[in-house]
Amino acid sequence: MSDKDFHVRFKNVQKSYDGKQLVVKDLNLDIEKGKFVTMLGPSGSGKTTCLMMLAGFESTTHGEIILNGRPINKIPPHKRGIGMVFQNYALFPHMSVGENLAFPLEVRKIAKPEIEDMVKKALDMVQMGDFIDRYPGQLSGGQKQRIALSRALVFNPELVLMDEPLGALDKQLREQMQYEIKHIHEQLGVSVVYVTHDQAEALTMSDQIAVFNDGVIQQLASPADLYERPENSFIAQFIGENNQLRGTIEKVNKNIANVKLENGENVSALMVDVKDKGEVTLLSIRPERIIINPKTTKNSQALEGKVLELIYLGDHIRCRMMVSGNDQFIVKIPNSSTHELLKVGEKISLGWDKKDCRALKP
Amino acid sequence: MTFAASEGADNSNDGKSLRKKLLRAERRKKFEAIGLVTPLLIVMVVFYFVPIAMMLFRSIDNSQMAKILPQTSIAIQNWSGEGLPDEITYAAIVGDMKIAQADRDLAKVGRRLNFDLVGFHSLLSKSGRKIDEIKGPPYKENLIAFDKKWGNEQYWTVMERGLKNTTLLYLLAAIDLKYDENNKIVKVPEYEAIYVSIISRTVYISLSITILTLILGFPIAYFMANTTPRTRNLLMIILLLVFWTSLLVRTLSWILVLQNNGVVNNLLMFTGIITEPLDMVFNRFGVYVAMTHVLLPFMVLPLYSVMRSIPSDYVRAAQSLGAKSITAFIRVYLPQTLPGIGAGALMVFIQALGYYITPALVGGPRDQMVSYFVAFFVNERVNWSMASALGLTLLILTGSLYLIFGKRVNIANMKLG
């Protein structure tokens, strides 16, 4: 596909602040029009830097960023026409809500009556129409967030960047805003590049998630793919909860490997980024995919585990077990009417579908 | 809902006792707060407000006169102000003058009344020397025989005015006003009027200094607020260096730098830019240079503290919304620095109004400000009343400017450090 098919393309982008270390190493990322793409990663992984380069507040050290088929490295921020929501909202404290929203329209020299209409429409979109004369200092965190969002959208940009916009809100409000932002995105059809370190937020909102670590995108995938089919051990560990077992590949059969665990037991696993016999591998299995006392079939296998701790969490029971020398092995047992009753100290047999057990490079 | 419920509970119970409990609980805190403030408050009142109030009172205080001429001050109250006073008043003044002459107080009266009407001093000293020659009535004729001025109604008008307990004479003089022969307040003739022009000169110089420090200080403060901590500390030290050297040394070094064969002139002549040395000191230019230098930190520090608290996100947000850098600066950044500009301008302006040493040393005779004349009246004329009246004028001026200015910039928002 050519540049024109994508809204934004990062091509071999590098960024260094001090000339010694690369904060962003060789970044390649293509964002389609109308998609909600999240940059997810631990702090210091380079995700905010990427956003700032796209917005034009940081220069690229190497490579180019292409917006609508045009390289934008030399275009100043105010000509890029990108809406942006900042982490601390950045609402101008000396202007009322209405003036804040009118600002991007005034600098574009739009006629007064038209400005009024657009401001009103943008405020109604976030249900803040009554707050037009308030000042930012008189608003709560959630209200400021809505105003910041509507200000970034009022001039009808095709691309909106959001830098951890919900970071300062409490949990309940954050979840509510997640849905609202998602709905506004669907309604307007703008492309959104969203930066967060909260994976639940990323999974809830995104069409695609780019997981950053160490200045590199580790995986770019839809939320379901990312969760169910992690491509390396960083993703497996970073996204959701995963049990990890160490072993060596004994036998390879197409894409299924036979792995010998550290305590000598044998299991089958789906090979993801490992290739050869004799390679050391990290098996990763989601806690909710583990079956207790399985009926052994062709696709599953049994392993012995000892129950160490049981935690009652209402909808499920969290069971910590000792499996193959790993005493942090977690099993989630759904609290159904027929669930297994376990006792601490009991030894049980565990199993899983071999497709759920992914063999990754450690 | 919860609020209404708790209020209801409050009413149904005994609301008063709750308030009492709260007051009791808060009382301790109040005492602590008062305890912390009291020592400073006492020091301020005893060593600051009271002396200032006493000093300012001197500008209208005239009680000394009635003490030196006690009988006259009573007798003259019966005078209608038309024609000459009666014999009793003449008798009283002769009696008073005898005592005053013996106590050597008559010169004080002379100086004081001479301020109102030139000629009074010589009249009193002349008459005082011969006063013992008058042994008895008629006092009126005897006095007029000494000097015809005793028969002049105008002298008695001044005398009557001068024996009251308070006088507006000095305050009027401080704004170029005086009493005329008919006891009316009028402007002094143009050749005598100096104080209004001195006051407006003081305001003009102070305003100029304020604008200069703002123009020079704003970029420095901006740079300091947005640079690395290392550079910031270095700049801060350079800036505060001004405070670490004495005012006198700084001012004198400006004379060395700016004088006719000083560093700047020599350099300019050496490079051939000028052939004749420029007059840069003992004139207005020297005052501007030296005062701007001395007062610059008072502008930079409040500006810097305000600018540091403005996150860079605001300007970025403005740019992302489509504003050019200059628009973002003017419409988003500048308005947020207003509290700093207000505080800095206020501090510089008010300090400049009262500047004395710097203009006295590096300025010429036409660059002296009000404080110079305050010092002049205290040190050379020993006229504390006039010094105090000028001081009061300055204080009223400062206060009213503060109020006008404060309303515009909203003083509550100002940041002073």
The CATH code belonging to domain A241-360 is 2.40.50.140
> Given CB atoms, is A76 within the 8 Å cutoff of chain B?
yes
Best of A57, A99, A145 to disrupt the B interface (most B CBs within 10 Å) is A57
State the average pLDDT for chain A.
Answer: 89
**Residue range A324-339: mean pLDDT, rounded:** 85
How many whole angstroms separate alpha carbon B195 and alpha carbon B371? Answer: 11
ipTM value for the complex: 0.82
Q: Is the pLDDT of residue B417 over 60?
A: no
How many whole angstroms separate alpha carbon B362 and alpha carbon B286? Answer: 6
Q: Is the pLDDT of residue B5 over 50?
A: no
State the average pLDDT for chain B.
Answer: 87
Q: pLDDT digit string (tens) for B320-335?
A: 999 999 999 999 999 9
CA distances from A100 to A110, A113, A146, A257, B292 (A): 15, 16, 12, 60, 38
Contact between chains at B317 and A55 (C-beta distance less than 8 A): no
Structure tokens at A289: 């995919």
> Cβ–Cβ contacts within 10 Å for residue A255, how many?
11
In chain B, the percentage of residues whose pLDDT exceeds 90 is 35
How many whole angstroms separate alpha carbon B322 and alpha carbon A110? Answer: 12
Q: Is the pLDDT of residue A1 over 90?
A: no
| Beta carbons within 8 Å of A1's beta carbon, 6+ residues apart | A30
Q: Is the pLDDT of residue A40 over 90?
A: yes
**What is the predicted pLDDT for the residue at B416?**
55
Q: Is the pLDDT of residue B1 over 50?
A: no
Q: Which residues of B touch A76 (CB under 8 A)?
A: 319, 325
Q: Is the pLDDT of residue B10 over 50?
A: no
The pLDDT-based confidence of A134 (bands split at 50, 70, 90) is: very high
The pLDDT-based confidence of A351 (bands split at 50, 70, 90) is: confident
The residue among A182, A189, A193 whose CA lies nearest residue A160 is A193
Q: Which residues of A touch B409 (CB under 8 A)?
A: none
More confident residue, B188 or B214: B214
Structure tokens at B293: 């230098």
Q: Which residues of A touch B337 (CB under 8 A)?
A: none
**What is the predicted pLDDT for the residue at A237?**
87
Contact between chains at A83 and B335 (C-beta distance less than 8 A): no
> Given CB atoms, is A168 within the 8 Å cutoff of chain B?
no
Q: Is the pLDDT of residue A114 over 60?
A: yes
Q: Is the pLDDT of residue A155 over 70?
A: yes
**Residue range A203-222: mean pLDDT, rounded:** 91
**What is the predicted pLDDT for the residue at B3?**
46
Q: Is the pLDDT of residue A256 over 60?
A: yes
Residue A62 phi, psi dihedral angles, 5° rounding:
-155, 155
**Residue range B50-54: mean pLDDT, rounded:** 92
How many whole angstroms separate alpha carbon A307 and alpha carbon A343? Answer: 7
**What is the predicted pLDDT for the residue at B6?**
45
B384 burial level (CB within 10 Å; 0-12, 13-18, 19+): middle
Residue B20 DSSP class = H
In chain B, the percentage of residues whose pLDDT exceeds 70 is 94
**What is the predicted pLDDT for the residue at B12?**
46
The answer to whether A184 touches A160, Cβ cutoff 8 Å, is no
Which of A77, A87, A88 is the closest to B319 by Cβ? A77
The residue among A182, A130, A146, A157 whose CA lies nearest residue A7 is A157
How many whole angstroms separate alpha carbon A337 and alpha carbon A232? Answer: 36
The CATH number corresponding to A3-233 among 3.40.50.300, 3.20.20.220, 3.40.50.1010, 3.90.79.10 equals 3.40.50.300
Residue of B nearest to A163 (CA): B313
Q: Which residues of B touch A82 (CB under 8 A)?
A: 320
The pLDDT-based confidence of B2 (bands split at 50, 70, 90) is: very low
> Given CB atoms, is B309 within the 8 Å cutoff of chain A?
no
CATH class label, B195-413: mainly alpha
The pLDDT-based confidence of B9 (bands split at 50, 70, 90) is: very low
Residue of B nearest to A157 (CA): B321
Which of B319, B336, B338 is the closest to A78 by Cβ? B319
The answer to whether A83 touches B298, Cβ cutoff 8 Å, is no
Q: Hey, which residues 92-151 in chain A have their CB within 8 Å of chain B?
A: 92-94, 103-104, 107-108, 151
Contact between chains at A103 and B325 (C-beta distance less than 8 A): no
> Given CB atoms, is B326 within the 8 Å cutoff of chain A?
no
Segments making up each domain of chain A, as ranges = 3-233, 241-360
Strands (E), B200-298: none
Q: Is the pLDDT of residue A75 over 60?
A: yes
